[in-house]
Chain A
């Protein structure tokens, strides 16, 4: 069982706005239109449609009280914005990195890519860009230290657990059910936590995942306000879903 608490908020955050992709627009153009203007750190959520992304989205259904698949399969931290937005550095722990896994141990699994890796709207139909109210330099400093601190969170171990699940190896079960977070989101949780920001207040453990970050942005704004902290803000487009085709009757639930 996953220990995730529902927020008591009855209305979704007004700081999170939907902005549809224009016809023919790729994700980079969408990012350009919606990139935050301030100095805060930026987290991007991605909802992919590859077999691995499908497995990850379904695995996170246990974090949703509706038990339907998440819109999100991946979460990354952006570096300083570059004039060519596609060249903006992405800090992540991907289970299918374009450049291959290499030897992940020396960096605690942390990988660097560029944002244009996620340009394809067909491969990543769901996108969200979230402003996290912490200075980017602090988060990047944490991210540097994270590479040396496997004792705090061993993401190499998480990668192996999640690869086993995603690839269906032997009898590998859903690691979230044993409180093992999805590596990239779990890394972000630690990196932001060390920089002083609680990215997933609904979680009681470090079993973070993109869906938990999404729920923080959408439903935990009142928690941040209560702590006298600015909440997460951002823009999203989540048209793609793996929803069941026949809906159950008689359950009135809040769409998360």
Chain B
């Protein structure tokens, strides 16, 4: 048996930890220690197998199948912004980690920064050396993240493209568990990113399959209703076991305050309706309304975190069916955008954070009524670009020819950032919010957001950190600082 502990995001006086028992056959009794003192945490997800007995191969004896058991635990009544050592013992094996609780407030300008790491789209196959984890773990002390937002595609369950996937639920569950173990276990690769700071995971399509919950021509299992149901059940079990940011759920979005910032992190993927009537559940929509109202009342700076960009435009039915539908393709998008526009009405600038698109971008959005910046969108994607069969081979050949003529192309498989539309959600909000692209980032990267209070305003800057061994390519790009200011 092997034990892993990964820090999870929690309010300032609380510490949460994800526990994984690997290669074991049953639940084990646990003994927890906080800074060496035996302590009983509250269980947010009781220790249980990520593959239930019903997902084991037919005829298998559950007590003899080695698999992963996971749980999420919470320690309360702690000091903010303080490092605690968490140790757990289970059946003679132990695991330990040091976790810093979040601060209650963003520090003032000369007292440091509150650092948020933005990561998305990690395909372990393309990061065999574990470079993303190494680079994140070597960030300088002043840039160490306090919080990580893992904004979708933490795993690619539907890859490799050319593999023949069985339609049996037990086979799918076992395959998905292997994918998660690759990223969650050990001290290299993605596990280093998970260990870097307390994190929140946002689900996107590859936590299920490309364009989930809709049929995808590349995914045979997704072409029948029964195939989709079996895949969905298996993927959901694994998502719950490894990623779900308990106590949040698709009905109860994750919320976090580090004053004056207020984060709202809904799961807009797991409960999408196949008829595209919604991306969020009704209960999540209600919670969003309350969050908007509360943030305006308390004059908090809102941060809305999604697995896809709110700045996208709806795609046509052919592209949607083949690639991935965008958020504007869902019927609840107008409601979401009208709610977010209330922040501009109240003079509160909004930050939108996302991943998904395989390039990075910073966009500033002005309210044409006031000329004030009403929103900023920061995209961080990918940390390790997924393999695309066919396209990658063509790109490699093109890149090789370019290098023959003295023009080696950095990141030949990647694309440049696309420009945002001139106006944000113009179908819903008309031409009220004008977009300016401030920066585009090509290639594998993570992004670091650094916040500091500056008088009544909030300064932030974005640092894109390329995931590259090449010193020239790997030089970070700083965008900003910008000021969020209430009007």
Asked if A201 meets B485 with Cβ closer than 8 Å, knowing A151-B142, A190-B110, A196-B108, the reply is yes
Interface flag for B483 (CB, 8 Å):
yes
- Contacts A193-B457, A198-B456 aside, 8 further interface pairs with beta carbons under 8 A come to A151-B142, A193-B455, A193-B459, A196-B455, A198-B457, A204-B485, A223-B487, A229-B456
Interface flag for B481 (CB, 8 Å):
yes
Cβ-defined contact, B109 with A197, below 8 A: no
Interface flag for B14 (CB, 8 Å):
no
Interface flag for A159 (CB, 8 Å):
no
Interface flag for B91 (CB, 8 Å):
no
Asked if A5 meets B454 with Cβ closer than 8 Å, knowing A190-B109, A205-B482, the reply is no
23 example contacts (A-B, Cβ-Cβ < 8 A) are as follows: A6-B371, A8-B370, A142-B110, A145-B110, A151-B142, A152-B110, A152-B452, A190-B454, A193-B108, A193-B109, A193-B453, A193-B457, A196-B108, A196-B453, A196-B456, A198-B456, A199-B455, A201-B456, A204-B485, A205-B481, A205-B482, A206-B459, A229-B456
Interface flag for A171 (CB, 8 Å):
no
Interface flag for A117 (CB, 8 Å):
no
Interface flag for A89 (CB, 8 Å):
no
Interface flag for B470 (CB, 8 Å):
no
Interface flag for B486 (CB, 8 Å):
yes
Interface residues of B in 449-487 (CB under 8 A from A): 452-457, 459, 480-483, 485-487
Complex formed: what's the CA distance from A146 to B453 in Å?
15
Complex formed: what's the CA distance from A227 to B456 in Å?
8
* A7 nearest CB neighbor, chain B only: B487
Interface secondary structure of A, over-half rule:
loop
For residue A65, give the distance in angstroms from its CB to the closest CB of chain B.
Answer: 12
Cβ-defined contact, B485 with A198, below 8 A: yes
Interface flag for A76 (CB, 8 Å):
no
Interface flag for A118 (CB, 8 Å):
no
Interface flag for B373 (CB, 8 Å):
yes
Cβ-defined contact, A152 with B109, below 8 A: yes
For residue A151, give the distance in angstroms from its CB to the closest CB of chain B.
Answer: 6
Cβ-defined contact, B481 with A206, below 8 A: yes
| Chain A 142-160 near chain B by CB (<8 Å), digits 1 or 0 | 1001100101100000000
Asked if A227 meets B486 with Cβ closer than 8 Å, knowing A5-B372, A194-B108, A194-B454, the reply is yes
> Which of chain B's residues have a CB closer than 8 A to the CB of A195?
455
Interface residues of A in 1-48 (CB under 8 A from B): 5-6, 8
Interface flag for A203 (CB, 8 Å):
yes
Cβ-defined contact, A194 with B110, below 8 A: yes
Interface flag for B275 (CB, 8 Å):
no
Complex formed: what's the CA distance from A190 to B108 in Å?
10
Complex formed: what's the CA distance from A94 to B455 in Å?
24
Q: Which 3 A-B pairs have the closest CB atoms?
A: A198-B455, A193-B454, A194-B109
> Which of chain A's residues have a CB closer than 8 A to the CB of B370?
8
The winner among B371, B483, B487 for most chain A CB atoms within 10 A is B483
> Which of chain A's residues have a CB closer than 8 A to the CB of B455?
192-193, 195-199
For residue B416, give the distance in angstroms from its CB to the closest CB of chain A.
Answer: 23
* B140 nearest CB neighbor, chain A only: A151
> Which of chain B's residues have a CB closer than 8 A to the CB of A142?
110
> Which of chain A's residues have a CB closer than 8 A to the CB of B482?
204-205
Residue in contact with B454 in the complex, picked from A8, A151, A198, CB distance below 8 Å: A198
Residue in contact with A5 in the complex, picked from B109, B371, B459, CB distance below 8 Å: B371
Complex formed: what's the CA distance from A13 to B170 in Å?
73
| Chain B 211-232 near chain A by CB (<8 Å), digits 1 or 0 | 0000000000000000000000
Complex formed: what's the CA distance from A22 to B429 in Å?
57
Complex formed: what's the CA distance from A203 to B372 in Å?
10
Complex formed: what's the CA distance from A145 to B111 in Å?
9
> Which of chain B's residues have a CB closer than 8 A to the CB of A205?
480-483
The winner among A5, A146, A189, A193 for most chain B CB atoms within 10 A is A193
Asked if A149 meets B110 with Cβ closer than 8 Å, knowing A198-B454, A206-B459, the reply is yes
| Chain B 161-184 near chain A by CB (<8 Å), digits 1 or 0 | 000000000000000000000000
> Which of chain B's residues have a CB closer than 8 A to the CB of A229?
456
> Which of chain A's residues have a CB closer than 8 A to the CB of B111?
145, 194
The winner among A145, A151, A204 for most chain B CB atoms within 10 A is A204
> Which of chain B's residues have a CB closer than 8 A to the CB of A152?
109-110, 452
> Which of chain A's residues have a CB closer than 8 A to the CB of B483?
203-206
| Chain A 233-252 near chain B by CB (<8 Å), digits 1 or 0 | 00000000000000000000
* B452 nearest CB neighbor, chain A only: A152
Cβ-defined contact, B110 with A146, below 8 A: yes
> Which of chain A's residues have a CB closer than 8 A to the CB of B373?
204
For residue A143, give the distance in angstroms from its CB to the closest CB of chain B.
Answer: 9
> Which of chain A's residues have a CB closer than 8 A to the CB of B487?
223, 226
> Which of chain B's residues have a CB closer than 8 A to the CB of A151?
142
